[in-house]
Structure 1
Amino acid sequence: MHFAYFSLMTLTWTTKPFNALTLPELYAVLQLRSEVFVVEQTCAFQDMDGQDQTAHHLLGHSESGELAAYSRLFGAGVVYPEASIGRVVVNLKFRRYGLGRELLRQSIAAVAELFGEQPIQIGAQLYLKEFYESFGFQQHGEGYLEDGIPHIHMVRL
């Protein structure tokens, strides 16, 4: 029964540059990223890396207004020579209902809308390789460790 509710859940998607984020939105973003990337993945790293200011932020809010999904988007030449998507995260309360797939669909569409159709590069956690491949990303180069977690570069042409 829960699956039916969540599978029909509609998120409200917004894309904003850093300076347009409200303080509550920024707090929710940083809280979600910390909950997942630092606490859940037990990885001590500097999440606030100075790149948020140059990113566009994709926020997916639930009907109750809670931040359910998030990613940050960059134009070509900011992080990689290609446009890029990073900090892709779904709130634990909203997982297992396809929101990760919807988040990535929304992220790819937002990159195209903001920067035009173009290649997108990501630094993906290795265990998510097949997930990203299902969206047309292909491994580019050798794997590497980032903050103790195996990663690979992937590009979607």
Structure 2
Amino acid sequence: MLDIIIKNFNELTTQELYNLLQLRSEVFVVEQDCVYQDIDGKDQKAHHILGYKDDKLVAYTRIFKPGYYFDESSIGRVVVQQNTRKFKYGYAIMKASIEAIKSHYNERIIRISAQTYLKQFYNNLEFYEVGEEYLEDGIPHINMIKS
């Protein structure tokens, strides 16, 4: 079970910010071998969902209210540390993120830009594909909606 902490940007400690940027870089840049601009100026508008196991950040997302990223509320930068994925922390952090959107923004419709290979994972969370697959930073993605 993950310990979940939800904070807006200004509430993050320097160490928390460092840890989440390190985890994002570890997975999205190094593991996925993708050179892209992770620090995109949107973190300041997001709520950050931090998932800890034994005081170590192992899972993370950021959520947005409608209009900040997409027209709908959204979840992005979904990441789980590679050696902890077998514990299904992806489901735990996503469920916490969905609940945070309901409680913080009073929204139920959520749009994500999902890496296509994770489509089944998101289908299991009741997200469904909309539109065509596209490349984002050289990786196939698909828009998905949960309503």
Which of 60, 67, 91 matches 1:70?
A: 60
- In the other structure, the counterpart of 2:6 is 15
Of residues 20, 35, 43 in structure 2, which corresponds to 1:44?
35
Aligned identity (percent) is 51
**1:35 lines up with 2:43 in the alignment:** no
Question: What is the Cα deviation at residue 101 of structure 1?
Answer: 1.0
Partner of 1:91: 81
Indicate the residue corresponding to 2:139 in structure 1. Answer: 149
Further displaced range: 78-87 or 112-121: 112-121
Q: Where do 5+ consecutive residues of structure 2 fail to align?
A: none
Could you say what secondary structure the match of 1:95 adopts?
Answer: helix
- How big is the shift at 1:27? 0.2
| Contact kept? 2:50, 2:61, Cα under 8 Å | yes
| Alignment match, 1:80 | 70
Question: SS of the counterpart of 1:61?
Answer: strand
TM-score normalised to the size of structure 1? Answer: 0.91
- More strand per residue: 2
Q: C-alpha displacement at 1:118, in angstroms?
A: 2.1
* CA distance in structure 2 between the aligned counterparts of 1:140 and 1:128, rounded to whole angstroms: 14
Q: Hey, what does 1:117 align to over in structure 2?
A: 107
Q: Which has the larger radius of gyration?
A: 1
After TM superposition, which residue ranges in structure 1, 4 or more long, deviate above 6 angstroms? none
Please give the alpha-carbon distance, in whole angstroms, between the structure 1 residues aligned to 2:88 and 2:137: 27
Select which of 102, 121, 127 maps to 1:131.
121
User: d(CA) in 1 for partners of 2:56 and 2:83?
Assistant: 10
Aligned CA RMSD, in angstroms, stands at: 0.8
